[in-house]
Amino acid sequence: MPELLLELFSEEIPARLQRRAADDLKKLVTNALVDAGLVYEGAKAFVTPRRLALTVTGLPARSSDTSEEKKGPKVGAPQQAIDGFLRGVGLTLIDDVKIESDPKKGDFYVALIKKPGADAVSLLSAILPKLLVDFPWAKSMRWGSGSFNWVRPLRAITATFGAENEESVVIPFDSNELMSGQATYGHRFLAPDAIKVRRFDDYVTALERAKVVLDIDRRKDIIKTDAEQLAFAQGLTVIADEGLLEEVAGLVEWPVVMIGTFDPDFLRLPEEVIIATIRANQKCFCLRDSSGKLAPNFIITANTEASDGGSVITAGNERVIRARLSDAMFFYQGDLALPLEHGLPKLKDTVFHAKLGSQFARVERLVKLAAEIAPLIGADPERAKRAAMLAKADLTTGMVGEFPELQGLMGRYYATAQGEPADIATAVEMHYKPLGPTDIVPTEPTSIAVALADKLDLLTGFWAIDEKPTGSRDPFALRRASLGVIRIIIENGLKLPLKVEPDLLAFFHNRLKVILRDAGARHDLVDAVISADSDDMLQITQRADALSALLSSSDGQNLLVGYKRAANILAAEEKEDGASYPGTVAQGALVLPEETALAFAVNAVHASVTGHVFKDDYKGAMAELASLRVLVDAFFTSVMVNDDDDAVRANRLNLLARLRDTMHLVADFSKVAG
């Protein structure tokens, strides 16, 4: 069957936009093909710095004929309505439609509309130019005198269609004065001449000969493998950096890996500074020696095969990196010359938020809040206050001004250098964490106090000014802050109730549900252990774990069945009687041994469960509930709840209410499915 080859050849596409663009191209084209009746077998998109490409295989030569029925007005409708219906379906005579009957609505007209299939090339000629106009670039530009927008100036369009053993044809269309054809171009420097292509296989082969690796993942593999081999030859290892690898693969079409060096004297800088400098300015990878220390070397990925083996390229990169590291050393030494708190007054001139004051005002709030949290988690309040005071001080340093991503980390280095205790210096760095779902959480008490203060101040502050996340919009990263609070509490096993307003507490509940469900918890079990005033995140997690363990056992499953039966009986009888049953069981009104046994057991379990819950022993509480399973089964087997004696009936309903209330001590079982 025929295949489609499409290439959009342009000036350099920013690396950060490439993979998304390839996905968008595939989605747009394949969706349009299906809508046009051209069902395909497979599709794959590719991207390099200068081209977006797509191959779609297994396409038919033309779309299939189709027919559909269109319902019209009722028989006997006004002539104007009938005439309008006929025009809409492309007919002139009412005799050309049929009449169908509906038992409820009567007879009505139905037209059979037949649509003949169309030639695939003709369909594609209409589809492709529209997709180019509608392409969803995050940023685009115009050039020349045209009105067409693309991420960078578009230079050529390749669009061919044909079967493997047939001569491909060009899909004719134009865009911004460019006509589609079957010519592409190789590497900008190594093979810049035009290349005529017919279909995907010879397209890939021709590009490879012209020094272009089409597949971005293959370019990544080449860079990674060659870098590791080059490093290994010198007894070094490459510091893995997936984000940088993705970016570099998006900067080159023909990756050539080289190794460079820098002055070992720069190793006096913190290694994070060296890595950030080399990464940000030259897109190079750093290396470690056999002892794990940073080596005075780096990996360059060039986009050409240099005639001198890369000596000039390597020397040029070494020269730039030397200058950048010299700047970093200047900032570092200048920052070390002054105490860290020297920068605090400058925070008064830095606006945190127009409605929440300056960064200095925020630091004052952090100091106060960290001191309040510290005794609750076993931290020293004075040390927490000191760490909170220094937490934002590095924002005014030269190094953080140059590399904002090093905030916190540089604060730790500077705090250590000026003799601050280790826990305070660590807290300065760790108070930002965790920054994401896989990031580490602070574990030292001082760090925990400041990290919680930082995130809770952020959340309560923006809640107070009604700047809350909406849909996918969260400009102040409040979801991340709430997830950070929850992770710090849970992973450190902290019993720390969150005394916040109900709306913010509900926000925490929603974030916790996300965490628990991602960990595999059933959504109904999570809902069962969270109430509107549940403010202990650790307790909620423990209850969810214990409830899940209970319901994974046969005793738990059968107990749930008994609970559901009891709850349903109670709901029905309370509705009929117009009264509620408080769960007060009269011992003298117990008649049968099964109800007597259950009544005494429920009382004992109620007291025991209350004790376990008080000690946060939810597994123990669930085990106590599970012990009721046999007695609940026996009760429903032998006891008729709706006894003729009103006193006996009311007492049995109170017994079921007592059972329900006992189980609700640990979870709302009415929310559990099953």
pLDDT in tens, 32-78: 999 999 999 999 999 999 999 999 999 999 988 877 788 889 888 89
pTM (2 d.p.): 0.81
Contact 397, 412 (CB under 8 A): no
State whether 284 and 228 are in the same domain: yes
Percent share of the chain, pLDDT over 70 = 100
Q: At which of 156, 180, 209 does a domain end?
A: 209
Contact 343, 399 (CB under 8 A): no
pLDDT beyond 80 at 551:
yes
Q: Rounded CA gap, 342 and 488, in Å?
A: 30
pLDDT beyond 90 at 306:
yes
- Give mean pLDDT, residues 398-416: 96
pLDDT beyond 90 at 374:
yes
State whether 171 and 271 are in the same domain: no
Write down the mean pLDDT value for the chain: 94
Residues in the chain: 674
* Least confidently predicted of 50-54, 258-262, 583-587: 583-587
Query: Buried b / exposed e across 355-383, counting CB within 10 Å, b at 16+?
Result: ebebbbebbebbbebbbebbeebebbeeb
CATH number at residue 569: 1.10.730
Identify whether 222 is part of a domain: yes
State whether 78 and 100 are in the same domain: yes
- Give mean pLDDT, residues 162-179: 88
Q: Rounded CA gap, 317 and 375, in Å?
A: 52
In this predicted structure, what is the pLDDT of residue 117?
85
State whether 558 and 611 are in the same domain: yes
- Give mean pLDDT, residues 189-202: 94
Q: How far is CA 153 from CA 140, 177, 254, 385, 397, in A?
A: 9, 12, 21, 55, 41
State whether 325 and 252 are in the same domain: yes
Torsion, Cα 391 393 398 404, to 10 degrees, reads 40
| Total number of domains constituting the chain | 4
In this predicted structure, what is the pLDDT of residue 260?
97
Confidence of residue 577 (pLDDT cuts 50, 70, 90): confident
Identify whether 25 is part of a domain: yes
pLDDT digits (tens, 9 = 90+) for 408-442: 999 999 999 999 999 999 999 999 999 988 999 99
Phi-psi region at 501: left, alpha or beta (left = phi > 0; alpha = psi -120 to 50): beta
State whether 650 and 605 are in the same domain: yes
Query: Buried b / exposed e across 540-565, counting CB within 10 Å, b at 16+?
Result: bbbbbbbbbebbeeebbeebbebbee
- In sequence order, which ranges of 50-140 are alpha helices (DSSP H)? 79-88, 120-133
In this predicted structure, what is the pLDDT of residue 639?
94
Identify whether 303 is part of a domain: yes
Is the pLDDT higher at 574 or at 242?
Answer: 242
Match 């191959």 to its residue by tokens.
55
State whether 238 and 262 are in the same domain: yes
pLDDT beyond 90 at 175:
no
State whether 622 and 652 are in the same domain: yes
Identify whether 431 is part of a domain: no
pLDDT digits (tens, 9 = 90+) for 83-108: 898 888 888 888 888 888 888 878 98
Contact 278, 322 (CB under 8 A): no
Strands 357-358 and 351-353: antiparallel
The DSSP code sequence of 230-274 is: HHHTTT-EE---HHHHHHHHTT-SS-EEEEEE--GGGGGS-HHHH
Q: How many CA atoms lie within 13 A of 306 on its CB side?
A: 14
Q: At which of 336, 365, 386 does a domain end?
A: 336
Identify whether 421 is part of a domain: no
Identify whether 485 is part of a domain: no
In this predicted structure, what is the pLDDT of residue 127?
95
| Dihedral (CA of 662, 666, 670, 674) sign | negative
State whether 667 and 568 are in the same domain: yes
Tell me the two tokens of residue 150.
Answer: 């693309």
Tell me the two tokens of residue 672.
Answer: 């559990």
Q: At which of 167, 194, 209 does a domain end?
A: 209
**Could you tell me where the beta strands, DSSP code E, fall in 119-211?**
154-162, 169-170, 174-175, 178-179, 183-185, 194-196
State whether 40 and 76 are in the same domain: no
In this predicted structure, what is the pLDDT of residue 71?
86
In this predicted structure, what is the pLDDT of residue 165?
75
State whether 129 and 33 are in the same domain: yes
Identify whether 443 is part of a domain: no
In this predicted structure, what is the pLDDT of residue 77?
87
pLDDT digits (tens, 9 = 90+) for 473-511: 899 999 999 999 999 999 999 999 999 999 999 999 999
Identify whether 406 is part of a domain: no
State whether 178 and 253 are in the same domain: no
Q: Rounded CA gap, 449 and 367, in Å?
A: 10
Q: How far is CA 190 from CA 186, 187, 193, 305, in A?
A: 8, 5, 9, 8
Which residue segment(s) compose the domain that 242 sits in? 216-336
Confidence of residue 385 (pLDDT cuts 50, 70, 90): very high
In this predicted structure, what is the pLDDT of residue 116?
83
